[in-house]
Amino acid sequence: MKKYLCRIGSFLLALALTAGLGSPAALASSTPPPVTETPSPAATAKEPVESEILNSMQVEAAAAILVDVDTGAVLYEYNAQEQRYPASITKVMTALLALEAVDRGEISLDQVVTLTDDLYQDIGEGGSSADLRAGEQLSVLDLLYCVLLPSANEACNALAQVTAGSIDAFVERMNQRAQELGMEGTHFTNTHGYHDAGHYTTAYDIYLMCREAMEHETFRTITSSRSHDLPATEFHEARTIYDTNALISSWQYGSRYLYEYATGIKTGSTPEAGYCLASAASKDGRDLICVVLGAENPVQAGGTTSRLQFSESIRLLEWGFNSFSTKTLLDSTYFAGTIPVTLSRETDRVGAQASGTLEALLPDDLDPADFQITPEFSAESLAAPVERGQVVGTVTVSNGDTVYGSLDLVAVDSVARSELLYRVDQIQRFFSLLWVRVALIVLLAVVLVLVLRWLLFGRRRRYGGSRPAGRRRSRYSGRRRRR
């Protein structure tokens, strides 16, 4: 009986041990994985470094932003999220919606538009105009030139009507498109930017709007033009209209503010908004967009008026072109250390390196070697098989609060799987399932009950518990009689 009990106890103990295995590798080896001898290159934190180039730039305006178009890098910003009045820079959105309607085939550039009586809706005194008249006929393209060069308010209303059916419906589209572009600080109440307390935006939102508009070739062609010839109509002889952007055209201020790299975009001014300019420039294969809002036009000692919306924009653009360059922050030569590997007899660790190249447009006085590099593995260990190039984590480059981007970390070698360790792992996983553990406990309880029952009742039956007492007495009495 003791032999049977020992066998049963051994079986139950084996089940309990199997269900509680902590790692399949423990069945194959009692030696734990070694600790990495060489720490990660980013183990030591680095203090943020500052750029004197960035700290030295200040713009004379209420708000400004300078962005590299190709990378989206904000090179300079000042009150860029502050809500301000955009004045006629609003017309960029008006032109954008009209050009998008052209792209969809809803209207065409050569379509002739007859101007209506509500041409001057929501336009007060002193607003910029091309002297268009109700009943006058112009093409959509001519109206776009009127909107973007001399900044004609009434031309905006004309485009709104032909594009959306009514001015009010067009304004709704302007706000909808602004939300689609991520212009969270923007609300439009009219098509042209004539002052209204509920008509506002931010320098950053204007950048988003201009970036989208500059994707259209027609928009770029118009905003980089110095002038445009309008055909004769019933109300006007053939005439020439000029661009109000002094970076493009010398019509108003001579050559004083002409900027050879300028490619657009739009001026704007009201007493409430101040003097504003959204500009674009291209130099040495780089494209920048600059927004200056709320600039002043101070009179100098000699009686000359300084048009700061133009001069500050040129200064910002030149600073952006001359003070920044593209630098490599990280590439595939970066080694992040090793990560433990399980289920393999070949090795217990595999190396990880960066995949690809991370670049950024940086001030010339910043060295990427001074930046913080932070690797992060996706798991504490990897289960074999591991393929070379398999993503095992990420590595991030930052400088203080500025995060420049991340690259994947990939395995530098392949690691084969041990089938024995894999099978052991599968068994361990099976016995780690809750329902299996519950079933084992139930089985153990049942076996214990059966053993106890056998011990209690089986012993009694074996040693006389099942035989009548009278029969045992007759045997003894018989023996006595024979004696």
Q: How far apart are CA 382 and CA 339, in angstroms?
A: 7
Alpha carbons 66 and 395: distance in angstroms, whole number: 28
Alpha carbon distance 412, 389 (integer Å): 6
Cα-based angle 472, 478, 479 (whole degrees, multiple of 5): 100
Asked if 399 and 372 count as a contact pair (C-beta separation under 8 A), the reply is yes
Q: Which residue among 128, 151, 279, 344 is the active-site one? A: 151
Give the pair of three-digit tokens for residue 56. 């030295």
Query: Three-state DSSP class for 138?
Result: strand
Please choose, from the candidates 289, 284, 282, the residue with its C-alpha nearest in 3D space to the C-alpha of residue 313: 289
- 88 catalytic? Reply is yes
Of 380, 384, 390, 327, nearest to 353 (Cα)?
Answer: 390
439 in helix, strand or coil?
helix
Locate the DSSP E strands across 22-81.
63-68, 74-78
Closest to 352 in 3D by CA, of 38, 44, 45, 23: 38
Q: Which among 2, 10, 30, 88 is annotated as catalytic? A: 88
| Helices and strands: H and E segment counts in the chain | 14, 17
Is 91 a residue of the active site? Answer: yes
Q: Beta strands 74-78 and 63-68: pairing type?
A: antiparallel
Torsion of CA 285, 286, 291, 297, to 10 degrees: -60
- Give the residue numbers annotated as catalytic, written as ranges: 88, 91, 151
